Structure 1
């Protein structure tokens, strides 16, 4: 099997799983459905992922590794270029996530997968996300603490949790504010980011 075919098969499986998890949830999706959607056999799923649990994890890793790298890079730049300012730190957290949500290559489906992760009790997935991405929240918490030194650790984490929830809601685009006619998706996303950053900054500073 060539490396190109190897990648293509794995990517097809991940794409099919993402779509099905978004539609039916993790427990409601069978590996048989995934193999049918991806047009592969069960041996291919076992070869690339080993188990359904690992497949779920890799669906998240595929999107979140890139978003994490973008967030941490933007955070590093914010701390270097505008030290002590809160809004650039919040922008580093918010903007890569909203960009992911607008990604035409499955971004919308992944947002629905995130919503499933909130709705379904999946302890192994939560442990995977905590183990692999918990450090991102800790880095942002540390940066926010330097910009808003009056907050206690408990207050800081409450407000960071509220920000994460608000961001997930904004990513899902379920709210009252819809993209107006004549406004591009990018312009609408940038407006959403500005408004959420202003809102969050006020919450952290109050």
Structure 2
């Protein structure tokens, strides 16, 4: 019973923090707001996370650890099953992220948190993301380079950066093309993935 309570308290804090960071940003959210939303005291936040900085990091880790594993697993499968083909590699990068964005258990809030990370100059957070997830981008860069050997390393990373930006935009559903009436979320997400992969493939090959 203690283990369940331990998990649920930590998870409640993370969920509250994610919602508040999405709404008010990192600098605009206080620990007092988090404790009020999660219905815990400040000691619980200090016990589980130690600081607001660690809390921010753990909000990202909770979502991105799983997404990174899914991306790497899909990348390995793409390289094995479709050697030399660019589109399956791009699909391995794009599809897990779009699936996360449509996760009904807070996926939308997390996407807004990602958008906040782009908008706010938080060097500590950027270092955390680079240290923990930079290897994922490097693995994809290496795989993509094998498909487009004519690209310089600088060109490759520019285009990968543009892909990451376009993907974030698509995840946040900022675009002009909304889900049509009568089209399910899964079908709309698959169409979005196909169009983004085609767009990115053309960009890398040009």
Shift of 1:117: 0.3
Distance between the aligned counterparts of 1:174 and 1:123, measured in 2? 25
Distance between the aligned counterparts of 2:54 and 2:181, measured in 1? 41
Query: Which structure 2 residue ranges, 5 or more long, are not aligned?
Result: none
Distance between the aligned counterparts of 2:155 and 2:119, measured in 1? 25
Query: Which structure 1 residue ranges, 5 or more long, are not aligned?
Result: none
Shift of 1:106: 0.2
Shift of 1:55: 0.0
Distance between the aligned counterparts of 1:154 and 1:132, measured in 2? 22
Residue 91 of structure 2 aligns with which residue? 91
- After TM superposition, the structure 1 stretch with the greater mean CA deviation from structure 2, 81-90 or 1-10, is 1-10
Please show how residues 132-143 of structure 1 align to structure 2 within 5 Å.
132-143=132-143
Please show how residues 167-182 of structure 1 align to structure 2 within 5 Å.
167-182=167-182
Give the length in aligned residue pairs: 206
Shift of 1:200: 0.1
Residue 56 of structure 1 aligns with which residue? 56
Distance between the aligned counterparts of 2:203 and 2:119, measured in 1? 26
Residue 27 of structure 2 aligns with which residue? 27
Note if 1:78 corresponds to 2:78.
yes
Report the TM-score, using the length of structure 2 for normalisation: 0.99
Distance between the aligned counterparts of 1:147 and 1:70, measured in 2? 21
Shift of 1:75: 0.1
Residue 144 of structure 1 aligns with which residue? 144
Residue 109 of structure 2 aligns with which residue? 109
Distance between the aligned counterparts of 2:32 and 2:134, measured in 1? 32
Distance between the aligned counterparts of 1:175 and 1:78, measured in 2? 28
Residue 184 of structure 2 aligns with which residue? 184
Distance between the aligned counterparts of 1:202 and 1:120, measured in 2? 31
Give the superposed CA RMSD.
0.6
Shift of 1:27: 0.3
Distance between the aligned counterparts of 2:166 and 2:87, measured in 1? 16
